[in-house]
Amino acid sequence: MGPTTQVTGLRLGPISRMFLVQSDAGVVVVDAGMAGQTDRAVAALAAHGVAPQDVRLILITHGHIDHFGGAKALRARTGAPVAVHTLDADALRNGQNMGPLKPTTPLTGLLLSIGARMVAPDPAIAFEPDIVFDAPWRLDDYGIAGEVLHTPGHTPGSVTLLLDNGAAIVGDLATGNWLFPTRAAPPLVAWDLKRNWESLHALLERHPTRLYITHGQPLAPEALHVLLKRYA
Ligand SMILES: [Zn+2]
Ligand SMILES: [Zn+2]
């Protein structure tokens, strides 16, 4: 048995959430919330006994501003490097959502105004990421027994952190059903929805035990199997 690795979701705002992944050997943060949420992020970490300098890596699941908008500021507070998949790195460099943001259903088209709009590049949140990687990429060097997998579809460079203990942090590979939080729903937007379902299928073949989505509560794998049957 390796060290125990724990995942904690930290709510940063109405739609944003980041994940604290910690073991005895290290602390990694997945996503960084939006611009202006960094005080809240640091306070949430402190509430879990994590000081800024304890963070060894900030892993970004994909290039949407609700996930990386706070990354530049969180890097300044923690000193931790920010890592993003090579195919979404330009979003961070430009301070702009990785497009195109195609609605996945007529209903989600209506919901786009909430936060997934294409907005102008924002120099205040733009920066050169420290680590631009091609997945798969293991995080053992950061004290975390797990692997970053390329799970494209929502964006070209979307990734999932699959821990050896079966927990998977999937970004926006799926979202929660607004009425029934134990059920999964498609992401609101997708660069390539077919690729998204292929990525989800490949992930489920790895038998994750619990899936941590950004926009909703953690899901059992069964909920994702139902989603795939319905849409893919
Ligand atoms: Zn997204
Ligand atoms: Zn999102």
CA of 83 to the centre of ligand 1 (A): 16
Ligand located closest to 98 CA: 1
Residues within 5 Å of ion ligand 2, judged at the Cβ atom = 66, 172, 214
Percent pLDDT > 70 in the chain is 94
Q: Could you tell me if 153 and 190 are in contact, meaning their C-beta atoms sit under 8 angstroms apart?
A: yes
- The radius of gyration computed from the CA coordinates of the chain, to the nearest angstrom, equals 16
CA of 228 to the centre of ligand 2 (A): 20
Tens-digit pLDDT profile for residues 105-125 = 877 776 666 555 567 899 999
> How far apart (Å, rounded) are the C-alpha atoms in residues 150 and 136?
6
Provide the domain limits for residue 137: 6-231
> How far apart (Å, rounded) are the C-alpha atoms in residues 117 and 99?
9
On whether residue 26 sits in a domain, the answer given is yes
CA of 195 to the centre of ligand 1 (A): 15
In the predicted model, what is the mean pLDDT of the chain? 94
Residues within 5 Å of ion ligand 1, judged at the Cβ atom = 64, 172
Question: Among 14-23, 78-87, 102-111, 192-201, whose mean pLDDT is lowest?
Answer: 102-111
On whether residue 200 sits in a domain, the answer given is yes
Say what the pLDDT of residue 174 is: 98
List the structure tokens of 176: 């929660």
Could you give the number of structural domains in the chain?
A: 1
Q: Could you tell me if 170 and 155 are in contact, meaning their C-beta atoms sit under 8 angstroms apart?
A: no
On whether residue 1 sits in a domain, the answer given is no
Of 49, 46, 47, 13, nearest to 31 by C-alpha is: 13
Ligand located closest to 158 CA: 1
Average pLDDT over residues 192-205: 98
CATH number for the domain that contains residue 179: 3.60.15.10
On whether residue 17 sits in a domain, the answer given is yes
**Its pTM surpasses 0.85:** yes
